[in-house]
Structure 1
Amino acid sequence: MTTLERTNPPDNRVELISSRARRFAALAVICLAELLVVLDNTIVNVALPSIGVELHTGVSGLQWVVDAYTLTFAGLLLACGNLGDRYGRRRIMIIGLIGVGVLSVAGANAETLGQVIAARAAMGVFAAAVFPATLALIINIFTDTRERALAIAAWTAMAGFAIAIGPMSGGWLLEHFSWHSVFWINVPVAAVAVIATLLLVPESKASVVGRLDIPGIVLSVAGITLLVWSIIEAPRYGWLSLATLGGVAVAAVLLGAFVWWQLRTATPILDMRLFRIRRFSLPALAIAIAYFSMFGFLFLITQYFQGVREYTPLEFGIASLPFAVSVAVGAPIATLLAQRIGTTAVIVFGLLLTGLGLYLGGLVDVDSTYLADVLPSMVSMALGLAIVQGPATESIMSSLPLDEAGAGSAVNDTTREIGGTLGVAVLGSIVASYYSTKISPIIDRVPAMLMNDDEKGFARATVLSVLEIRKREIPTMLEPQRENLITAMKSAVLQGSQTASLVATGAVVVCAIIVAIFLPWAPSRENAVLLAWRKDEADSQA
């Protein structure tokens, strides 16, 4: 028996789809399921100002609205990928779609910040069941190399499409309805996706699976959650406080224990040996850093467009459209280009282009114009992200045998979600620290007739309070004071954003250097490494 036969047994992995039309019909349904998961991240960003105003929460609370979803999502991707390999990827995906739909109803009926965060966290659990299954199904359905690259490119481009319609649809909804509507929109999408999956998507599962790694799941979720909590809450408790340093230290111990356990258990939830494969580990690092930048950027740009430029939600959606279009267009092109010139060159170029966009974004000030200053930053970063994620995803998935498609997809998804979660936490906390330090003394001097104590507390927490300050009726004699206050708030948040942009730029550039040095440039050499690893795996199982 050859290595290829040992690696890819044909019997019970996926029901054969001989028709090309049926394969691409299944791809369309899978992309719809992916759309639901990604859409829920992008559409909620537009609703953050409305949630913040109505529920009187600051940056930390808004960070948790975003991160509650991504934390449970990232923490359970590995487990759900394993469950899909074990019980069937389509089955697990359908369960996830139903769960997202049901819990969206709960989020739509939430009346407190705690209820919103709880609904978002629970939605993340079921979204984790959907996402790894989508990519694993694609890998198993499309066995032809070129078709698979096209399918992965389409899967990657769907993320850009979700970014496009998220702000636009969210802006339209908020123009006509309350923020609760951004949850209701998930329900019909989930229903259509479930029905279409049952009709068009074949079942797929691994031929051999090990025992579910419960200790690994617990350690990873606990470690990641505590680390992100410590970073998000650092501006409130202090970066050098016992709560922050103690939380980071305990998180490091938990994550260290996770790695130790994964190296010793017979059935790890994350096979650490995969990271010995440079075509696997370095593209995963590139994706994590790219999403660290993107999620943080999207969180910050929400505050910029709606707090600094005072755009309506719909205006924000229209203004962010070039970012989304750039991702959707760039991803497929980059994936095909990588097949011609190699993965490394494309990923390095994409990272550097992302870094350029971040640097340009850090130069934006209160008087910057959209067309000359903001738009080039958005397009550069979006194209860079698109160029990175398509080829990196294809490299990760092509490094694995089909039996491990679910686990490999989960690793790919986990790296991007952990990167994104940390991006919101780290970059958001940098901005919050700068903003609160600069603006608190100014807020304290504001007369009571301009702002009461609750309004001052909200203004200290987030620049989004500008929207409420602007609406309040005040005596004409206080108008200059209000304008000075608003200008100071905008300047303070942009100073924090400039520092956050430099941090993200540095991370992206360092990652580009690492990839350029250690990831093989020649496609032939990459294939040789892959085939050698698969041969070793086959020999060890013989």
Structure 2
Amino acid sequence: MASPLSAPLSPPVPEAVHRRRWVILTVLLLSLLVVVLDNSILNVAMKTIATPAPTGLGATQSQLEWAINAYTLVFAGLLFTAGLLGDRLGRKKVLLFGMLLFGVGSVLSAFSGSSGQLIVFRAVMGFGGAFVLPATLAIIMNVFEREEQPKAIGIWTGAVGLAIAIGPITGGLLLQHFWWGSVFLVNVPIVVAALIAMVFIVPDSRDPNPGRLDPVGVLLSIVGLTLLIYGIIKGGQLADFTAPQVWLTVLAGLVVLAGFVVHERRSDHPALDVGYFRDPRFSAAVGAIALVFFALMGVTFFMVFYTQSVRGYSALQSGELLLPLAAAQMIFAPRARLVVDRFGARAVCGAGMALVTATFLGFLLLGQDTPVWVLEVLFFLQGTGMAHVMTPATVSIMTALPREKAGSGSAVNNTFRQVGGALGIAILGSLLSATYRDRISGSLSTLPPGLRHTAGESIEATLGVAARLGPPGKALVQPANDAFLHAMHITAATSAGVTLAGMAVVLLFLPGKEATGRPSGDEVKAAAAEARQ
């Protein structure tokens, strides 16, 4: 496949769009913020939603997981299809539809009367979110010229860091003053503002030559991804990936996806040109993103319980502790392109992966009384490492495809991110749960069998049983903290192994610094300006 640097320049961006490109980016970031914001808020609110009515919904651990996973399942299953529809029907139309549906789902989730309703309405939000995320990145690729795309993508990536910071803090403030549903209702004014701005500011774009529809390919992608994600989620819930309902579902998903690849290779009008994966920039970057999100999502899942259950911080304080992670991404993601220009994507991504790996190993230093500044330093370094992985990897993926296929490229990027994250939560969550149960079981031997099983599910379950038992239950608190810390350390070490594998993928397959013969940014800019005249 020809490198985009050696290929002819893409058609120039119209001058009217080019002039307002930064305003367009600002509007697009609103839609990105609201999608990421919602998930980071929900992580903080899980403990409150688990509280019995009227404070919460009395959700069980399984129901809490499905409140998160229902969104992930629908979101990941439809991402690729949503990207294709954006390329074909128009990215602005798809973005408006997704934002509207996400807003409706947010209102319905806020007023859920049961855990079951919350799970269903979270799925509605996932449906809408699947049409939002690929469209934002695809529109960016179509309003910025080649030399400015890395900067725009860096800002797009840094905005995720901003949402990580705003989400938990906003969630903590809302939970202190309002009922749990406010964490979903807060999305509505952002959605309304974004919709109005999009109608008047964001231009539409599509693939001018989309070719014939590939309904078989689209159907195979939806079925395959849904089966795969469902099997992964179910394995995490059961903490047993050997159960027939788990491995058979995962296997069925992989078989369907293999059929999708075979079909796309043979089709003369494929939904996805699988030949793009022959480009090492594309495939290695996709693998790096999947692996880093595998590790990150698993660790994010247990960190909430470390800060709130073991350390005793409130939901608001727990959110504030994430500020260094977010600040580092906001600072370094938009500037990562400068380091890439000097040292190359392979060196920068490899160093970023190494730093993320080191921070996961640093979590082994965390105990019940570790000074909080240690956690803050680790978060800042982790955010720095992620910024130098996500920005160059995303740029590598998006610039490997023609601009008219930006929706498909964005969908592939986000699909692998979601699959990696779902795997991380399921597998690392299962590891955390199994290790915790094994460690705490000896301290629960005096409890009745039914209560013993309930208390062993998680640290929150153990502390809940301890509270109901009154003074005798205090003897369970310290063993619970010790068991959780042990399980957290095992999970963090495993995460480090995953990101280490990601570093190997990057160093082996991601191309090094571009050849000196590549056109300079000024030359590309001048050519684009001349073409617009």
Q: What TM-score do you get using the length of structure 1 for normalisation? A: 0.88
In structure 1, the residue matched to 2:228 is: 227
- In structure 2, what is the Cα distance between the partners aligned to 1:266 and 1:458? 55
Helix, strand or coil for the counterpart of 1:17?
Answer: helix
Q: 1:229 and 1:339, CA in 2 relative to 1: closer, same or farther beyond 3 A? A: same
In structure 1, the residue matched to 2:296 is: 294
In structure 2, the residue matched to 1:499 is: 490
In structure 1, the residue matched to 2:435 is: 434
Indicate whether 1:204 and 2:195 are aligned: no
- In structure 2, what is the Cα distance between the partners aligned to 1:366 and 1:222? 44
Task: Report sequence identity in percent.
Answer: 38
Helix, strand or coil for the counterpart of 1:524?
Answer: coil
In structure 2, the residue matched to 1:401 is: 402
In structure 2, the residue matched to 1:29 is: 27
Indicate whether 1:463 and 2:459 are aligned: yes
- In structure 2, what is the Cα distance between the partners aligned to 1:369 and 1:338? 35
Which structure 2 residues correspond to residues 182-193 of structure 1 after superposition, within 5 A? 182-193=183-194
Offset of 1:230 from its aligned partner?
A: 3.2
Which structure 2 residues correspond to residues 48-197 of structure 1 after superposition, within 5 A? 48-54=46-52, 55-145=57-147, 147-197=148-198
Q: 1:42 aligns with which of 15, 40, 46?
A: 40
Offset of 1:410 from its aligned partner?
A: 1.2
Q: Quick one: which amino acid aligns to residue 326 of structure 1?
A: A
In structure 1, the residue matched to 2:16 is: 17
Q: 1:18 and 1:188, CA in 2 relative to 1: closer, same or farther beyond 3 A? A: closer
Helix, strand or coil for the counterpart of 2:120?
Answer: helix
- In structure 2, what is the Cα distance between the partners aligned to 1:228 and 1:440? 30
Q: Is the 8 A contact 1:357 1:376 kept in 2?
A: no
Q: 1:526 and 1:5, CA in 2 relative to 1: closer, same or farther beyond 3 A? A: closer
Q: Is the 8 A contact 1:109 1:180 kept in 2?
A: yes
Q: 1:439 and 1:243, CA in 2 relative to 1: closer, same or farther beyond 3 A? A: farther
In structure 2, the residue matched to 1:378 is: 379
Offset of 1:132 from its aligned partner?
A: 0.8
Q: 1:60 and 1:431, CA in 2 relative to 1: closer, same or farther beyond 3 A? A: farther
Unaligned stretches of 5+ residues in structure 1? 529-542
Q: What TM-score do you get using the length of structure 2 for normalisation? A: 0.89
Q: 1:494 and 1:61, CA in 2 relative to 1: closer, same or farther beyond 3 A? A: farther
Give CA deviations for 1:94-131 in whole Å, capped at 9, x if unaligned: 11110000111111111222222211122111111111
Which structure 2 residues correspond to residues 325-336 of structure 1 after superposition, within 5 A? 325-336=327-338
- In structure 2, what is the Cα distance between the partners aligned to 1:525 and 1:280? 21
In structure 2, the residue matched to 1:536 is: none
- In structure 2, what is the Cα distance between the partners aligned to 1:88 and 1:198? 13
Q: Quick one: which amino acid aligns to residue 314 of structure 1?
A: L
- In structure 1, what is the Cα distance between the partners aligned to 2:417 and 2:281? 16
Q: Quick one: which amino acid aligns to residue 279 of structure 1?
A: R
Give CA deviations for 1:441-470 in whole Å, capped at 9, x if unaligned: 54452379xxxx6x7665332223466457
In structure 1, the residue matched to 2:529 is: none
Q: 1:223 and 1:440, CA in 2 relative to 1: closer, same or farther beyond 3 A? A: farther
- In structure 1, what is the Cα distance between the partners aligned to 2:162 and 2:474? 38
- In structure 2, what is the Cα distance between the partners aligned to 1:309 and 1:269? 49
Unaligned stretches of 5+ residues in structure 2? 520-533
Give CA deviations for 1:29-79 in whole Å, capped at 9, x if unaligned: 011111111111111111111122334445443332222212221221111
Helix, strand or coil for the counterpart of 1:368?
Answer: coil
Q: Is the 8 A contact 1:76 1:221 kept in 2?
A: yes
Which structure 2 residues correspond to residues 223-262 of structure 1 after superposition, within 5 A? 223-234=224-235, 236=238, 238-262=240-264
In structure 1, the residue matched to 2:504 is: 513
Helix, strand or coil for the counterpart of 1:446?
Answer: coil
In structure 1, the residue matched to 2:391 is: 390
Give CA deviations for 1:245-289 in whole Å, capped at 9, x if unaligned: 333332332232222222223333332111101111111111111
Indicate whether 1:522 and 2:513 are aligned: yes
- In structure 1, what is the Cα distance between the partners aligned to 2:455 and 2:269? 50
In structure 2, the residue matched to 1:344 is: 346
RMSD: 2.5
Offset of 1:358 from its aligned partner?
A: 1.0
Indicate whether 1:413 and 2:392 are aligned: no
